[in-house]
Amino acid sequence: MSASTASTYGRGAAILSLGIGATGLITFAYFSLASHSLAEEEYGRISLLWSAIFITVSVLYRPVEQLLSRTIADRDARGVGGAEHLRVAATIQLALGLLFALAALALRGPLEDGLLGGSATLYWILLVAVLAYAASYFARGFLAGHRRFGPYGGLVLMEASSRCLFALAVAVGIAEGQTAVALGMAAAPIVSLAVVPAALARRIRPNGGDDPARAGPGADSALLDAAARDEPAGREPEFTLSRGAGFAAAVLLIMLCEQTFLNAGPLLIEATHGERGAALAGFTFNVLLIARAPLVLFQAVQTSILPHLTRLRAGGETDPFRRSVNLTVVASVGFGAGVAIGMLAVGPPVMDLIFGGDFEYERLGLVLVALGMGLYLAGATLNQALLAHGRAARAAASWATAATGFVLFLLLADFDDAVLEVEVAFLGAAACLSGALYALYRRV
């Protein structure tokens, strides 16, 4: 790995870590303000609306973000010109947005009356927010592939900040009610796009960033590696709509499984616990923020490591590829262990201070979620390595197996404490996922 490539990756990860780290804290503040300002049932609806929006946008739109990020990085490393990859990605994104709009309109009754407690306003906020995120995630993939990490960080930071202002307005009395808090979810992706024109105004160099390095001498070894794997030498197959859609479909399944891990617990609790279901779902959502908030920060690593690993693979730099993956996996597990120690020491009082409410946070459960978070981050790193190798379908199979086991456990287990059941299931599923992806990565 050239010093220039390593430096670019390091700068990108650092910039994104700052921007997305601040985003995670602001997101925490949004829910903290909402939790203190709204009744438990209203806050439960806010958390369910958030889950519905981000399940949908992550499943539908992050595949195109990952597709663009990997494809742009690969084409730039190999010196391939043209814009067909942008047209293919835009076509897929538009089709996914249209599919969502049609499905949401057809299912308005169940969404509005079931999930959102009969609120037409929350339903329209859901519809507008999801459609707005189509443009946001396309922009993210474009910026990540070209290693424009400063504008990328600015986009997500502006998104979180503008959303939090709505909760702050309710907290200080300028506005009131769950509708005002929820409006921030629709406004945020629209406002965040303000950074895109400025980013595009600066000419992006042909190699995709500020690093002038292109595929180096290691490219010859990449051709030999490709031949050994019976893959086309010198370049990947032509980027077509069917090939792009195949990659996006596999990543879409991965994103669906990811959101299952983070949101199936609260949604199942809301559906099975009657009148107290919404409040208990909000409490469970708060517990899982221990995993969700670091995942927001980890987006910096995911965003920067995929184009980085793709460039290393295109250049045949096998050892730097492995070092990058191993270092990130070790750091992820270590971070999870550190958070677990913190939860063991001061977890319950800290959670009470941040979120308030009538529920009591159990120390053991918080530790379980923290440990699961570390394993989950390790699995997410291995997943990016497999995507860089073009093994999206095989990775998706591992995700689907782990997610299915997670949901079956929640449906079949009979814990007296529903929240503890979710915590145990999350740790077990994260361990299974990271183990399966590691085994696949070793074979690749």
| Cβ proximity of 24 and 257 under 8 Å | no
| Cβ proximity of 291 and 369 under 8 Å | yes
Measured in whole angstroms, the distance separating CA 36 from the mean position of its chain's CA atoms is 26
Model confidence at 223: pLDDT above 70: no
Mean pLDDT (the chain, rounded): 82
pLDDT in tens, 45-94: 888 898 789 888 888 998 999 888 888 888 887 777 777 888 888 999 99
Residue 405 CB-density burial (10 A; 0-12 exposed, 13-18 middle, 19+ buried): middle
Per-residue confidence band for 106, with pLDDT thresholds at 50, 70 and 90: very high
The residue count for the chain: 444
Which is nearest to 181 in space by CA: 190, 189, 171? 171
Residue 158 tokens read as 């502006």
Per-residue confidence band for 163, with pLDDT thresholds at 50, 70 and 90: very high
pLDDT higher at 50 or 444 = 50
Give the mean model confidence (pLDDT) for residues 433-437.
95
Beta strand spans in 63-176 (E): none
> How far is the C-alpha of 11 from the C-alpha of 213, rounded, in Å?
15
Q: What is the pTM of this model?
A: 0.75
Which is nearest to 420 in space by CA: 258, 257, 256, 269? 269
Q: Write the CA distances from 407 to 340, 382, 400, integer angstroms.
A: 24, 22, 11
> Crossing angle of helices 120-145/84-106, nearest 10°?
170
pLDDT value for 54: 83
pLDDT in tens, 18-37: 767 777 788 888 988 988 88
pLDDT value for 218: 42
Model confidence at 211: pLDDT above 60: no
pLDDT value for 206: 45
pLDDT value for 236: 55
Give me the amino acid identity at 178.
Q
Residue 144 tokens read as 């990540």
DSSP codes of every residue in 306-357: HHHHHHHHHTT-HHHHHHHHHHHHHHHHHHHHHHHHHHHHHHHHHHHHHH-S
> How far is the C-alpha of 61 from the C-alpha of 135, rounded, in Å?
9
Percent of the chain with pLDDT over 90: 31
Residue 379 tokens read as 């699995």
pLDDT in tens, 328-360: 899 889 988 998 999 899 888 888 887 776 678
The DSSP symbol for 413 reads: -
The DSSP symbol for 202 reads: S
pLDDT value for 99: 94
Beta strand spans in 175-325 (E): none
* 386-400 per-residue burial string, b: 16 or more CB within 10 A, e: under 16: bbbbbbbebbbbbbe
Which is nearest to 15 in space by CA: 295, 301, 211? 301
Q: How far apart are the first and last CA of the chain?
A: 20
Model confidence at 443: pLDDT above 50: yes
Reported as half-sphere exposure (CB side, CA atoms, 13 A), residue 87 has a value of: 7
